[in-house]
A and B are shown apart, each in its own frame.
Chain A
């Protein structure tokens, strides 16, 4: 099953390499990884999606914890959490299709960030299901390019990852 793991790390050069090295060496598979700042100076937050059974995930979290630069590891899969991903999608659009696409954009509460005579660039955030549905609906118009951030996640109040 797919697990979401929140990791707080020292924001130092080489930390990401240590983590990806660990996954490569131990044979764990990363489905997605996002890295960014956290609420605290000098600490970065990594959101990992990893596939595996409970024993495998137990090992992943323990091995991550062994890294000196890793401060805290939490498997938040079973917590009530908010997860978001951002996707930029460039879709073919001319005068005949533009209004139909804009209707879909509206329904999904996405937004158009660039318009040209033959294409639109749309920004959408949400969970994976929403992004997948959006992509499916736009596919018939001709998708030229997609860029995704991977997932960021946060447990709902009051449980905080500290």
Chain B
């Protein structure tokens, strides 16, 4: 069957099982959009390409499938880059397809030309500039394979206009993938797994650190079995939130700069650290030389380059967390280290998360109320900054893929478009974006997207009239010199209404719960704008570069 390049793109996406594409058309991708016009694949028109990339990202995080986004050449592609970098840092599988100027004009500084593959090479797992339509189908198949296997990540395909118009034979199912330089290992070395089990069986003070890789691998069940079989307390990284139920007695919740006391102390006091699917980010380890310094370290990760990158470990196991844990559980003996566990329980009970409630609405109070009001399968999405950390700390996270946040890149403006992607992928779930006023303003144009497509996401704005996290640093480390962090108050309920979205403004404490209930029950998209106390800080906090048991504030 002969198809044009544009038709090949759409047909190949269909055969990959793609149900939705997020994007914005433009001159250099107009032919692909023309082919899309006749197709059954849903298209969600974003209103900034950054939004489109975050939507694909949110969709991928919520569903575990590959997210797909489209953009035109030049500015369309450059606008995608923040979203691509965000997905890259958090190992999220997306395929981005960009239009490019015709082949003969590449390198001539043509209208809307940018070196898209050059620009995105450090922020993609791989990228392609398609120069021959006969290679297009194979490239798309490879792109999906690379994006979702091994350590997942974004893959970009840049397609010049003439390639979109040229024709080639198309037989997708006959294409065999054989990439010489890409053979990810999954099973893990059995001798290493046995050695890890021996260390766990001998350990007196074991502690698990579960990262985003546990969620990616779908290994939460195995993690639960391992932890409960040998009674090992579980801390998670920020990206690992949801991998282990936070209401379980063995849960230490999240660790790191804004981690929980018990998690940070347990990591510093353990004699054996079992790190699973994490990359020892500086936000998790604090001062890396003193991180878990009393512990022997086991590191399970699918990416061999993560072994010994930030923290040198004793037993590395490279492979898929789910497969490795399944084997590991068999070799681990049932046990209960009473002394260690009672120390952990004491840590947890003597250092609960607290805040000083008062007359004004506290951000933490808002998160607690959201947590009380929402049903169990709610997906919490966050923006970046204080709103993100309070959402991590004061909401009880129980399930994988139900907490979606920009961990590595820390992209303000991520949450709202990501929540749109999440809702499109999980229409059955209530999706709540917990936003800050600063972050929400960075992609607020997507209110038009939720109206046009009737996507009933809910936004709860923690409106503190500040770039709160930077303001907090300025308060603590810069003598309250609030350089460019205090904002003018914006009425987000009115803005929402102007777009045709339900808007509710909350200024009094007692209004909060009714407002949340009414927004969550409302059939369409809704924004709840909550005016909170401005100078509230995220506590606990570890100063940057300090050991993670050097905690500022609170008890």
Contacts and interface: CB of A to CB of B under 8 A. Distances in A.
Interface of A: 9-10, 14, 17-18, 21-22, 25, 55, 58-59, 62-63, 65-72
A62 to B, nearest CB: 4
Interface in B306-325: 307-309, 312
Nearest to B312: A55
Interface centre among B125, B304, B307 (most CB of A within 10 A): B304
Contacts of B146: 68
8 contacts: A17-B118, A21-B122, A55-B312, A58-B308, A62-B307, A63-B305, A68-B182, A71-B181
A75 to B, nearest CB: 14
Given A9-B181, A10-B181, A21-B122, A65 B304 contact: yes
Contacts, number: 40
Given A10-B181, A68-B179, 19 more contacts: A10-B180, A14-B129, A17-B118, A17-B121, A18-B121, A21-B121, A22-B122, A25-B122, A58-B308, A59-B305, A62-B307, A63-B305, A65-B304, A65-B305, A67-B181, A68-B125, A68-B182, A71-B181, A72-B181
Nearest to B124: A68
Interface of B: 117-118, 121-122, 125-126, 129, 146, 179-182, 303-305, 307-309, 312
A59 B309 contact: yes
Nearest to B129: A14
A66 B303 contact: yes
A56 to B, nearest CB: 10
Contacts of B125: 68
A49 to B, nearest CB: 21
Contacts of B312: 55
Nearest to A61: B305
A59 B305 CA distance: 6
B494 to A, nearest CB: 44
Contacts of A68: 125-126, 146, 179, 181-182
A13 to B, nearest CB: 8
Interface centre among B122, B179, B305, B307 (most CB of A within 10 A): B305
B127 to A, nearest CB: 9
A56 B312 CA distance: 12
A71 B179 CA distance: 9
A12 to B, nearest CB: 10
Nearest to B153: A66
Contacts of B305: 59, 62-63, 65-66
A14 B130 CA distance: 12
A80 B419 CA distance: 57
A18 B181 CA distance: 14
Contacts of B179: 68
A57 to B, nearest CB: 11
Contacts of B126: 68
A106 to B, nearest CB: 46
Contacts of A14: 117, 121, 129
Nearest to A54: B308
A51 to B, nearest CB: 19
A91 B59 CA distance: 66
Contacts of A22: 122
B307 to A, nearest CB: 8
B425 to A, nearest CB: 27
Interface centre among B121, B126, B180 (most CB of A within 10 A): B180
A43 to B, nearest CB: 8
Contacts of A66: 303, 305
B150 to A, nearest CB: 9
Contacts of B182: 68
Nearest to A14: B117
Contacts of B121: 14, 17-18, 21
A10 B303 CA distance: 21
Nearest to B122: A25
A9 B179 CA distance: 12
B181 A62 contact: no
Nearest first, the 5 A-B pairs at minimum CB distance are: A62-B305, A68-B126, A71-B181, A71-B180, A68-B182
Nearest to B304: A62
